[in-house]
Amino acid sequence: MAIRAAALMGVAATLLFVGPGRVPDSAMAQQRPPPRVSAPATIDPYPTATDTRLGGDDNQTRFVMDLTRKVELRAFTLADPYRVVIDLPQVTFKLPPKMGESGRGLVKAFRFGLVMQGGSRIVLDTVKPVRIDKAFVLEQTDSQPARLVLDLAQTDRDTFLRTIALDNPKVARPDPKRFEREAPIKGDPRPLIVVDPGHGGIDHGTRAASGETEKQIVLDFALLLRDQLEKSGKYRVVMTRSDDTFVALDERVRMARARQAALFISIHADALKKSEGEAQGATIYTVSDTASDAEAARLAENENRADVIAGIDLSREPDDVADILIDLAQRETKTFSLHFAKTLVTELRNVARLHKHPMKSAGFKVLKAPDVPSVLVELGYVSNKEDLKQLVSGSWRNRTAASIAQAVETFFNTRVAGSPASPQ
Ligand code: ZN
């Protein structure tokens, strides 16, 4: 099943545990940065990352991150694409927004952010296979912040793959109790809608030239949509995330299925590179094995990269999805999804600019629940000035969220009344 594909991505990893007792190497002396004063003015419950530096060349590269206090770290490598992952306890990143977009030496670029409550992560994309030579954190001193140091050396692919242990690193799972707390009261007969703001934490999604991130835009919008839906009193609403946390794609699907959701609405914003031309307006996507056009295929590929961006497959053992797939149920789900997508296009047309082809389909992992009607709404393009203006506008958001809520209402009314639009 395609839903399993995430589990097959580069999960093999080699681990390097570095505990607090480890004494750093004298090699640090070479690249000692200028002294910095590290004490923050306010007490943050979490250590804060205040700066990063990259040094070295194509053979050996050093990554340094300044922190307000010492933390424990765990570092490992992943293949295809080549990455180095550093897991830390929760850290507040106070770094410039474009930090990590370009690299040096063996490091192409890097990302950082929350991957779960209590856990932060740095993912470095490397230009070729690398070996972790050293990974440690230096205690802060009077004149120096605590420093995380990672030394990478180049290696060849065979060696890289050989040294990768086959054991999947035991990444702490998101606390299931966290979701239980969010679970609705049992016996509530109202339909449950899962609202899914895309990306989060370490995965920013697309980014406007002026700095606005997709993960923030879609979270703001999704919270508004939740409020609009709840206001009617007719639905229960569960968010896949309500803060800036990374949630793996299959976890989002699992949350909807476990609650027997009646509808799953994923919210995203798209972007085109300058070389890809201009596009504008909202698009509604449903799932399909074959993409409806090249743009839909490109988008699905981008949106499905979340697990690669986060640096590791966080998915559990393949669950029952593959085994209980009943063709009939799935076909019915597809019909409902399509019906809702059409209703949504009709409603949105009144309040928002739509893409010239507003209904498309492609293989989005997040839409693959076989038993939950699911759509993915791309609200617009952050690369388009007019779209961006609307995406951050309070009145546009209110209008658009209200029209989605209206489409939900129409959808459930027709469902209760009998059959949805006939299959096509
Ligand atoms: Zn997205």
Edge to edge, the sheet with strand 192-197 lists: 236-239, 192-197, 263-270, 374-381, 282-287, 354-362
141, burial (CB in 10 Å: exposed 0-12, middle 13-18, buried 19+):
exposed
Cα 288 to ligand 1 centre (Å) = 17
- CB proximity list for 398: less than 8 A, separation 6 or greater: 224
DSSP for residue 10: S
In a domain, 17, yes or no: no
The stretch 273-300 carries a mean pLDDT of 90
Q: Verify that 365 and 387 share a domain, yes or no.
A: yes
The maximal CA–CA distance of the chain, rounded, in angstroms, is: 75
Highest mean pLDDT among 88-97, 130-139, 218-227: 218-227
Mean pLDDT rounded to a whole number for the chain? 83
Q: Could you say which of 104, 136, 167 is where a domain stops?
A: 167
- Position 91 scores a pLDDT of 94
Last residue of one domain, picked from the residues 119, 142, 167: 167
| Pair (348, 201) in one structural domain | yes
What pLDDT, on the 0 to 100 scale, is given for residue 305? 87
Helix axes 394-417, 327-348, angle to 10 degrees: 130
Q: Are residues 301 and 370 in the same domain?
A: yes
In a domain, 254, yes or no: yes
The string of pLDDT tens digits covering residues 148-205 is 999 999 999 988 887 765 434 444 444 444 444 445 556 788 999 999 999 999 999 9
403 C-alpha to center of ligand 1: Å?
21
Looking at the fold, whether 352 and 242 belong to one and the same domain comes out as yes
Taking the C-alpha atoms of residue 54 and residue 56, their distance in angstroms, rounded to an integer, is 7
- Residues making up the chain, counted from first to last: 424
Residue 22 lies in a domain: no
Give per-residue pLDDT as tens, 34-58: 445 555 455 678 999 999 999 999 9
Q: Which two tokens stand for residue 27?
A: 């090699």
pTM listed for this prediction? 0.78
Q: 269 C-alpha vs ligand 1 centroid, how far in Å?
A: 6
The proportion of the chain whose per-residue pLDDT surpasses 90, expressed as a percent, equals: 62
Looking at the fold, whether 226 and 154 belong to one and the same domain comes out as: no
190 and 123 in one domain?
A: no
Helices 214-231 and 394-417: angle between axes, nearest 10 degrees: 50
- Region 322-344: mean pLDDT is 80
Residue 6 lies in a domain: no
pLDDT band with cut points at 50, 70 and 90 for residue 206 = very high
How much distance in Å is there from the Cα of 120 to the middle of ligand 1?
A: 21
pLDDT score of 357 = 93
Q: What is the pLDDT of residue 289?
A: 87
What is the predicted pLDDT for the residue at 41?
A: 53
pLDDT for 190: 94
Which DSSP category does 168 fall into?
P
Report how far ligand 1's centroid is from the alpha carbon of 379 (Å).
Answer: 10
Residue 423 maps to a domain? no
- pLDDT value, residue 73: 93
CA of 300 relative to ligand 1 center, distance in Å: 9
Same domain, 340 and 402: yes
Q: How far is the CA of 272 from the centre of ligand 1 (A)?
A: 12
Q: How far is the CA of 400 from the centre of ligand 1 (A)?
A: 18
Tell how far the Cα of 98 is from the centroid of ligand 1, in angstroms.
19
Domain boundary among 144, 167, 190: 167
Does position 98 have pLDDT exceeding 50, yes or no? yes
Q: Specify the pLDDT at position 315.
A: 43
Low-confidence winner among 60-74, 150-164, 262-276 (lowest mean pLDDT): 150-164
Q: Cα torsion at 173, 177, 178, 184 (round to 10°)?
A: 140
C-alpha angle 255/256/261, rounded to 5°?
145
User: 2 vs 269, which has greater pLDDT?
Assistant: 269
CATH code for the domain of 289: 3.40.630.40
Query: Range with the lowest mean pLDDT among 77-91, 174-188, 354-368?
Result: 174-188
Are residues 379 and 272 part of one domain? yes
Regarding whether 52 and 185 lie in a shared domain, the answer is no
CA of 162 to the centre of ligand 1 (A): 35
Question: CB neighbours of 360 closer than 8 A, spacing ≥ 6?
Answer: 283, 284, 285, 286, 291, 292, 293, 295, 296
Whether residue 41 is contained in a domain is answered as no
Q: For residues 267 and 215, what is the distance between their CA atoms, to the nearest angstrom?
A: 10
CA of residue 306 to ligand 1 center, whole Å: 9
Domain count of the chain? 2
Shared domain for 240 and 278, answered yes or no, is yes
Whether 408 maps to a domain, the answer reads yes
State the distance from the centre of ligand 1 to the C-alpha of 61, rounded, in angstroms. Answer: 32
Cα of 409 vs centre of ligand 1, distance in Å, is 25
Ligand 1: centre distance to CA 241 (Å): 14
What pLDDT does residue 255 have? 93
The answer, yes or no, to whether residue 24 has pLDDT greater than 50, is no
Q: Does 413 map to a domain?
A: yes
Q: What CATH number is associated with residue 134?
A: 2.60.40.3500
Q: How far is the CA of 361 from the centre of ligand 1 (A)?
A: 15
> How many A from CA of 238 to the centre of ligand 1?
19
- Between 330 and 270, name the one with better pLDDT: 270
pLDDT band at 97 (very low <50, low <70, confident <90, very high): confident
- Is 214 in the same domain as 329? yes
* Residue range of the domain that includes 130: 48-167
Q: 400 and 292 in one domain? A: yes
Ligand 1 centre to CA of 24 (Å) is 40
The answer to whether 222 touches 239, Cβ cutoff 8 Å, is yes
CB 107 within 8 Å of CB 64 = no
Is the model's pLDDT at 399 over the cut of 70?
yes
User: How many angstroms is it from 135 CA to the middle of ligand 1?
Assistant: 33
SS3 of 63-95: the string is EEEEECCCCCEEEEEECCCCEEEEEEECCEECC
> What pLDDT, on a 0 to 100 scale, did the predictor assign at position 112?
94
pLDDT at 416: 55
